[in-house]
Amino acid sequence: MPEPVIASVGASPLGRTDLPGRDLFSVALAEAFDELPDPADLVEAVYVGNQSESYEHQIMYGTLLAEWAGLRHVPAERVEGCAAAGALALRHAVKDVRNGEHEAVLACGVEKMTSAGTSGATDALSAAFDRAIEQRSGITAPSQYALLAKRYLHETDATEHDLAEIAVKNHANAARNPRAQFPKEIDVATVLESDPIAPPLKLFDCAPVGDGAAAVLVTTAELAADLDRPQVRVAGSGASANNIAVAERDMTDIAGARIAAETAYEEAGIDAAAVDIAEVHDAFTVCEALLAEAVGFAPAGTGYQSYQTPAERADGWTDVQLSPSGGLKARGHPIGATGLLQALEAYEQLTGAAGDRAVEGAETALLLNEGGVADAVTVGHVLTTAEAR
């Protein structure tokens, strides 16, 4: 069975841009294929993660971006799973290579969120909620996650100060990331004194709206070697869908994330303790705390300690470093591209290309990308430079 690897990555600038989605993709593609053959000579299939057609009134993103890459008559599909769309595109690419269907597959993601303004983005994101139970009440993404945060603070020893520390940590990481939307350090007071969005969540607890694209080339190990590219093995992949409505779930037990991660661990032949770095779906600060527990890094009720050093954390924590890119919170969250930006960060970390933000000795990464609220759909991938067992 062929071994899927990531052989190259690229991304556009993140944040508010004047570029339409197709041009954001072109920038990401150009970086990914720098010093490689033309995409038309290499790529055999395309998967595009894209959250909503409402931003640019555009569907058929698979066909559009295949055309924009100079590809004709290849399978090309848009993949949708709200904010998990990018990771789903990567998962499809990995499965194609592993199954021997294709040797080289392009997984990409794009979102032009700023074209719709704040109200348009709010409406587009709310489409991920249950129409009958949630949307008609006028509830928004921040208010949904505020419910989770309120419950988490009630059930654990975590405080709003702890959530603020998570934001501070991720901004510090982003300050060393030239790709970040907000490469700027902040302090706890800045978070705690920022405008309330949906209490207890404040402005600096929330990931930003932004534009962006990312491209990831998945190939066989043999082809990556022929191309003379640094390669990172996709050792495991898992996915899980929970109920769409928050009212139907345990708000502090993110079961779908646990199942997606455990599936990826089992496929990779590792456990949570083997993971050196993790890019998790910190759309809001409380998410990093909840996900640290769900994927096995932290004992229940202690995930909020993710901002602390391994020596400071409670017994039972692993030594993992979370969100070295700055996470969704500070690197940015252009919805359809987010899961692939996580893969880009892991690729750069594991191939020695992360510069000042490099985590020393990192060999294995977990990517955890969610869509909808919390674990409505979750995708996990284990990436590693270690040899297959």
pLDDT in tens, 253-263: 999 999 999 99
**pLDDT of 166 strictly over 80:** yes
Per the listing, tokens 């302090």 go with 187
Distance between CA atoms of 209 and 193, rounded to whole angstroms? 20
**pLDDT of 119 strictly over 80:** yes
Residue 7 has φ and ψ, to the nearest 5°, of: -110, -15
Structure tokens at 299: 């004992």
Structure tokens at 117: 């303004």
Confidence of residue 211 (pLDDT cuts 50, 70, 90): very high
Count of helix runs (H) and strand runs (E) in the chain: 12, 12
pLDDT at 347: 98
List, for residues 195-210, the tens digit of each pLDDT value: 999 999 999 999 999 9
Overall average pLDDT of the 293-305 stretch: 98
**Residues 6 or more apart in contact with residue 119 via CB below 8 angstroms:** none
The percent of the chain in helix, strand and coil, each rounded to the nearest 5, is 40, 20, 40
pLDDT at 283: 97
List, for residues 233-255, the tens digit of each pLDDT value: 999 999 999 988 887 788 999 99
Distance between CA atoms of 161 and 194, rounded to whole angstroms? 13
H/E element, 174: helix 160-174
Annotate 336-366 with three-state secondary structure. Answer: HHHHHHHHHHHHHHHCCCCHHHCCCCCCEEE
Distance between CA atoms of 264 and 379, rounded to whole angstroms? 9
DSSP strand pairing (45-49 vs 104-112): parallel
Nearest of 142, 85, 162 to residue 334 by alpha carbon: 85
Overall average pLDDT of the 37-42 stretch: 96
DSSP strand pairing (321-322 vs 277-279): parallel
pTM: 0.97
pLDDT at 132: 85
- Domain 4-116+209-226 is of which CATH architecture? 3-Layer(aba) Sandwich (3.40)
pLDDT at 388: 55
Q: Are 171 and 184 in contact (CB under 8 A)?
A: yes
- Could you give the percent of the chain with pLDDT greater than 70? 99
Per the listing, tokens 């709206």 go with 209
Overall average pLDDT of the 359-385 stretch: 96
Judged by phi (left if over 0) then psi (alpha if -120 to 50, else beta), residue 82 lies in left
Overall average pLDDT of the 144-170 stretch: 97
pLDDT at 3: 92
Cα distances (Å, whole numbers) of residue 359 to 40, 115, 261, 287: 35, 36, 21, 22
Q: Are 279 and 90 in contact (CB under 8 A)?
A: no
Overall average pLDDT of the 112-138 stretch: 89
List, for residues 315-340, the tens digit of each pLDDT value: 999 999 999 999 999 999 999 999 99
Distance between CA atoms of 241 and 247, rounded to whole angstroms? 15
Q: What's the mean per-residue pLDDT of the chain?
A: 96
pLDDT at 63: 97
pLDDT at 135: 86
